Amino acid sequence: MSELSGKVQTVLGLVDPDQLGRTMTHEHLTMSFECCYFPPPLGDEEVAENPFQMRHMHWLRQNPYSCHENLLLQQETAAVREELLAYRKAGGGTIVENTTTGIDRDLPTLRQLAKDTGVHVVAGAGYYVDCTHTEATKKMSEEKLTDIIVSEVLHGADGTDIRCGVIGEIGTGWPITESEKKVLRASAHAQAQLGCPVIIHPGRNPAAPAEVVRILQEAGGDISKTVMSHLDRTIFDEGELLEFAKLGSYLEYDLFGTEMLNYPYNLEVDMPSDSQRVKTLAFLVKEGYEDKIVVAHDIHTKNRLTKFGGHGYSHILKNIVPKMLMRGISQHQVDKILIDNPKHWLTFK
């Protein structure tokens, strides 16, 4: 464990934290999202069968989960390689690739992409949401799950010697299921042993992030080394957001580039625009949380790649950063969000 202390663990081995550079803290380079397929609106079945035409691009942005083909990001490794080279060119250094067990983590591909592009890639240990837990996973004891997660970090995962550098994204829904609670507690135990970073996918309810923090804390987790993902679709009220921020986790806005009218997984939610996301970041900075903000795109479907008319992995660097500067976030604060905060989070204690 002392070997890991003070280092960041990438798929190519340990690196000095100062080498990371600008970091997206929640992305996917290869995965399957078939677990979350959502049937297309009535009458749109034919479009869903053959969506990758210019005239269907708007439909695809509005209904990304209603087309099986669109959910197979793992088929686009060549396009992702190109994207990563563009990301480097745009000033990017590191990507946290937090695909976990249940959505087709592919560590050899991550290692190859890191080698081919020079982008540092940090892989994720642990398990996604309940509907992707196998019967075997559901039957495992907390201790067994802890051992597996620890081993994925110390020795390698999925039968490879490629080691994970972060626990998560650990998937939870709302309400949080028994199996998800067990995985959360195992993640906290593993974090206590390893001093490593953790990242959480909360359920779609404003109360979900705080409930996850409570479970992690009770199991000995280190909230100051934990990222709460997807806040942009979870907590909308400013007062509630500040209440949650007080708990001390990193606050992640990671759906940059996603602008859709009807969010199929929770129709109550009005998915914010990128402008609204930047506004929320400026609010959090003003309230003193500049050391706790991290950002990403959470690319998990094909249509978000530039190959298919999407925004790609460089959208934040190219389009969002100038907007942040225009909305009163200073260059120094931008650098904290993109470089310093991810670095501190990813460094093993």
* Closer to Zn ion by Cβ: residue 106 or 298: 298
**Cβ–Cβ under 8 Å, residues 37 and 267:** no
Task: Assess 252 for contact with Zn ion (CB under 5 A).
Answer: no
- Of residues 299 through 318, those in contact with Zn ion by CB under 5 A are none
* Closer to Zn ion by Cβ: residue 22 or 304: 304
Task: Assess 298 for contact with Zn ion (CB under 5 A).
Answer: yes
User: Least distance from C-beta 332 to Zn ion, angstroms?
Assistant: 29
* Closer to Zn ion by Cβ: residue 26 or 225: 26
Residue closest to 174 by CA, chosen among 213, 199, 214, 207: 207
In the complex, residue closest to Zn ion by CB = 298
Given the rule CB under 5 A, which of 45-53, 84-92, 185-193, 297-305 is the region that contacts Zn ion? 297-305
Task: Assess 27 for contact with Zn ion (CB under 5 A).
Answer: no
Task: Assess 130 for contact with Zn ion (CB under 5 A).
Answer: no
**Cβ–Cβ under 8 Å, residues 26 and 252:** yes
Is 68 assigned to a binding site? no
Task: Assess 83 for contact with Zn ion (CB under 5 A).
Answer: no
User: Least distance from C-beta 31 to Zn ion, angstroms?
Assistant: 8
Is 26 assigned to a binding site? yes
Rounded distance between C-alpha atoms, residue 336 and residue 65, angstroms: 33
User: Least distance from C-beta 97 to Zn ion, angstroms?
Assistant: 9
Given the rule CB under 5 A, which of 66-74, 151-159, 210-218, 292-300 is the region that contacts Zn ion? 292-300
Is 297 assigned to a binding site? no
* Closer to Zn ion by Cβ: residue 211 or 298: 298
By the 10 Å C-beta count (0-12 exposed, 13-18 middle, 19+ buried), 87 is classed as buried
Question: Which residues does 160 contact at the CB level (< 8 Å), separation at least 6?
Answer: 107, 108
**Could you report how far apart the first and last alpha carbons of the chain are, in Å?**
9
User: Least distance from C-beta 234 to Zn ion, angstroms?
Assistant: 13
* Closer to Zn ion by Cβ: residue 274 or 298: 298
Rounded distance between C-alpha atoms, residue 212 and residue 190, angstroms: 16
User: Least distance from C-beta 75 to Zn ion, angstroms?
Assistant: 18
User: Least distance from C-beta 26 to Zn ion, angstroms?
Assistant: 6
Is 230 assigned to a binding site? yes
* Closer to Zn ion by Cβ: residue 102 or 285: 102
User: Least distance from C-beta 298 to Zn ion, angstroms?
Assistant: 5
Task: Assess 180 for contact with Zn ion (CB under 5 A).
Answer: no
User: Least distance from C-beta 29 to Zn ion, angstroms?
Assistant: 11
**Cβ–Cβ under 8 Å, residues 72 and 101:** no
* Closer to Zn ion by Cβ: residue 222 or 298: 298
* Closer to Zn ion by Cβ: residue 38 or 89: 38
Binding stretches for Zn ion (CB under 5 A): 298
Residues flagged as binding site for a divalent metal cation:
26, 28, 169, 201, 230, 298
Binding residues: 26, 28, 169, 201, 230, 298
